[in-house]
Structure 1
Amino acid sequence: MMNVNWLRSFCTLVEEGHFTRTAERLHMTQSGVSQHVRKLEEQLGTELLVRQGKQFSLSGAGERLYAEAQDVLLALSNLELAVVEDPPYEGEVRVMSPGSVGLKLYPQLLALQQRYPKLTIDYRFAPNTDVEHAIAESTVDVGFMTTKSTLADVSCTSVAEESLLLVTPATVEDADWDTLMALGFIDHPDGSHHANLLLGENYREFQHSNLFPRKGFSNQIGLILEPVSMGLGFTVLPAHAVEAFPKPELIKVHKLAHPVRETLYLCSLRHRPLQKRMETVIAEAKRWL
């Protein structure tokens, strides 16, 4: 493999046309520059310079090497910069979270990308377990979860809380137990978990969401409240998902005696340092949570 230092000395000599100026530019001795060129010639098995006293010209091989070497040295220089530099507003950041958090954060992160077009946001909506495994497998950079990870490689820090809300059709005045039983439950991927947390704290009759007639299911966070708004049932959802619903006049959020809030955790791979662009995204996310 060709020695990069020898190649750089050769190309600099061609550009300067003089051993003394080359040595000064590279902070070397003239003999060091000569030695690099000699070693390069020995390695390639051909003469690169046609020497005439203190003057020189390029051989055919020297001209070809110089033409090709410029691109190689530029690519290596760019590679070095890409590795060393860590710009805060450039590059891709992969984020994953449950849907409710995503409804809150994704528009704000897109606005961040508008301000810094070289920043790319890759946002995926997924349940907690998928977020956890994606972080552990390094397929995402930053994750938000509503439960703390059980995996040793995933680091979680509490960053916010989000209320769980009981939502019925707008026509429901009093969400007592009999009313909920008559309405039936609109389920979703976290429906049972959310119902257990909120309804278990507020209704002595509650044991499990399976007690309610199941009136529908949706795994699309933006559509879970559609059947509720049409009078087809009730559900329990995090506040961000309720706030994002475009027809608030068709639903009603009921204030319960014992409010319940979920903790939101910021999660990342434990032993992987966060790059500055990831820190930029995290700071913006925290601002809106």
Structure 2
Amino acid sequence: MTDYSRPALNLERLRKFVAVAEELHFGRAAERLHIAQPVLSRQIRALEDELKAQLFVRDRRRTELTAAGEQLLTDARPLLASANALRLRVGQAARGKNAFTVGFMPGLIVTAAVRALSERHEGLTVNVVRTNWDDQVEVVHDGRVDVSLIRLPVDQSGLTVRPLLTEPRVAVLPADHRLAGKETIAIADLADEHLLQHPDAVPEWRDIATELREGTRMPVGHFAAVEEKLEHVATGRGVTVLPLSTATFYTRPDIVHVPVRDIPPNQVCLAWEAGRRSRLIQEFAALAQEAFA
């Protein structure tokens, strides 16, 4: 049974806690929040009293999170994002804005489902937002989109996720690369190459990569945008592994793509915030499944 006698968690204090937890410095957090440091300290103490848990350990040299603070930070970010998304949707409704927004990853074409939803609901504005690997889930949590076509793997916490399709993954190489022109390659063929994306995105490569195993070359920062990856591939700075539809969508003469036969396919899903019971979301999900079938 829910205990309604206990006060609800103060979201403004929670927002201040996240600022301190990210900065690990009360002075910098206070500047970021545009408040005085003593005020911030009082707010954090009030939150600790509210939760009956110590969140930070402080001395003259540093500020560190306790185990309770680490747990709160993990849970606070999605909670604050959901609260902001709720404010956004309520504000849109108050302004009489009848809109629905769809996020989509590069290479995925959502035209058919968007058009079908628009035709079913006269007066509904259906918007689209192009996402990338770094924000494809974030846009759902913060309310920028109602649904998002995502590519796994992602953190699925707080999401409802519905599979749509799978597709093979390919290695994207410079046109004059030694492997260009092969019908297929194995992931082991890329062991000595430099990967222009986060190694965790291609764990099969990460586990055999020469540069990671021997420490002979540290990976450069990964590139979130496909266009950036492909520019660096074309200039010979490395290779990247992409879903087939993304590679074919960005066809250009100075790069080629070759199927990688021994890694699992990419899974495309539709995601939305768990707990939302929107009729439009359910309707769009059905239309998307039909379009991608």
- Select the structure of larger CA radius of gyration: 1
TM-score where L is the length of structure 2: 0.49
Structure 1 or 2: more helix by fraction:
1
TM-score where L is the length of structure 1: 0.50
